Structure 1
Amino acid sequence: MIVTERLLLRRPKLADVPALFEFLGDPDAMQFTHIDRSPKECRRRVAAHEWRRRRDGCAPWTVQLKESGRIIGWGGLYDDPFDPGWGVELGYYFHPDTWGKGFGSELTAAAMHEADEVLKLPKVSAFARPDNTASRRLLEKTGFRVVRYVSEMERYYFERLRPGG
């Protein structure tokens, strides 16, 4: 478990799926990315990423508020089992009622510390749609740079190289 100023970042459990599905299955919350169509699909996604954690050493965390324990997000570092070939990526997904409160920045800072100091990754990638200005701003603030636009995905591909690496 990783503890930040306001968040607990921990391995997901299948018991987290109902709370995760509240936003991972919400078309408005997931307007810029994949939407889980059912709790079963959400459970499959969580389980597939956890299987990859054993292989890769990283996968998205369940994000909880430290103060209340409420699950508000899912994200971190992962090699996407559903769209392989991009290397380790940073991704973050939050309940809409938590947007704009800096939780993405807090999660991203913890993930980049993990990438640099624990996993010692030479680079981390990320994707953002052109109209997802909040995500693009967060990535740029964290040191990611646009490498190219991937037209078949309708997303910008970002990379962040390990500092001093």
Structure 2
Amino acid sequence: MPQTIETDRLLLSAPKLSEVPALFSFLGNKVAMKHTHCDASLKECRRRIAVHEWRRRHDGFAPWTVRIKQTRVLIGWGGLYDDPFDPGWGIELAYYFDPSAWGNGYATELCHAALEFSDQRLELEKVSAFAPPDNSASNALLKKMGFEYERFVIEMERNLYTRRRQA
């Protein structure tokens, strides 16, 4: 995998442990993470990032840090992963952003890059994604990205979406 993937406005790269405090500023923020898992401590966030990076070495992919290309400011974390903390769902797409970055289309840009990586480099046949029913922005984004609603997963209180590989 290349060191950094560039989109029109973003830089996507493997996180460094030195970036964990910046990642924790939103991954540990209950408002930012109201629809998903919120890290309770810097230590928990560091562990999450480290485990995903181990998976990157094993699988060839894991969530990236998301930076604004022009300023290099870290605004998010996301991409493809096979969740080591809740296994069995296959390869998923997820995205987490600092609230200051919401509403600017960055999640769309990240999703495009991740799905292109999935289709062209990894040649994955299927990618899944989850969104709580009350997160209308994520549900709409997943549909826009070509994901199809599969079912509501009661134990997770999330909608499950899947997307087949695009030629």
TM range (shorter): over 0.9
What secondary structure does 1:54 align onto? Answer: helix
Q: Does 1:82 align with 2:90?
A: no
Give the paired residue count: 164
Alpha-carbon separation, structure 1, partners of 2:53 and 2:163: 24
Partner of 1:115: 118
Task: Give TM-score, length-normalised by structure 2.
Answer: 0.97
Alpha-carbon separation, structure 2, partners of 1:122 and 1:12: 26
Which amino acid is the alignment partner of residue 7 of structure 2? Answer: T
Partner of 1:52: 55
Alpha-carbon separation, structure 1, partners of 2:51 and 2:31: 24
- After superposition, the C-alpha distances for 1:115-158 in whole angstroms (9 at most, x for unaligned) are 00000000000000000000000000000011010001000110
Q: Which runs of 4+ in 1 moved over 4 A?
A: none
Q: Does 1:99 align with 2:102?
A: yes
- After superposition, the C-alpha distances for 1:13-62 in whole angstroms (9 at most, x for unaligned) are 00110100010000000000000001110000000000011111110000
Q: Does 1:135 align with 2:123?
A: no
What secondary structure does 2:84 align onto? Answer: coil
Partner of 2:162: 159
Please give the root-mean-square deviation of Cα atoms over the aligned residues, in Å: 0.5
Q: Unmatched 5+ residue regions in structure 1? A: none
- After superposition, the C-alpha distances for 1:68-93 in whole angstroms (9 at most, x for unaligned) are 11100000000000000111100000
